[in-house]
Amino acid sequence: MAGEPQDDCLFCKIVEGHVPATIVRETESTVAFRDINPQAPVHILVIPKVHYANAAALATAEPTVAADVLRETQAVADEEKLESYRVVFNTGPGAGQTVFHAHAHILGGRGMQWPPG
């Protein structure tokens, strides 16, 4: 259910401090941490502290939640000194989502191709 921590959610466990992560930023409503399987020299995830299954669920949340996640992607990019970067939300297993807690991938530090593949 949206908004409630899920016992089986890896990212809820990171938010609660039960699973370690390399946290780079934390606000009242978000946590940003390095991806354990980076796809670029800089690969950081920004998640809301409140559980939403994916970007579609996040879009129906209180408007400030999605805005906070996007605001933090910019703050992380600034701290990482990324001039150019990509922000990706995967929604559903067919799109490559493997952890069903909404999260933005920040990818940078190398050239990005289009289409992404």
Catalytic residues: 103
What is the spatial distance between Cα 53 and Cα 75, in angstroms, rounded to a whole number? 23
What is the spatial distance between Cα 97 and Cα 94, in angstroms, rounded to a whole number? 7
Domain that holds residue 26: 10-108
% helix / strand / coil in the chain, to the nearest 5?
25, 20, 50
* Domains identified in the chain, total number: 1
Query: Is there a domain that residue 4 lies in?
Result: no
**Which residues of the chain fall short of a pLDDT of 70?**
1-3, 117
What is the spatial distance between Cα 104 and Cα 39, in angstroms, rounded to a whole number? 14
The pTM of the whole model exceeds 0.85? yes
* pLDDT at 5 (0 to 100): 74
For residue 97, give the CATH number of its domain: 3.30.428.10
- Single-letter code of the amino acid located at 38: P
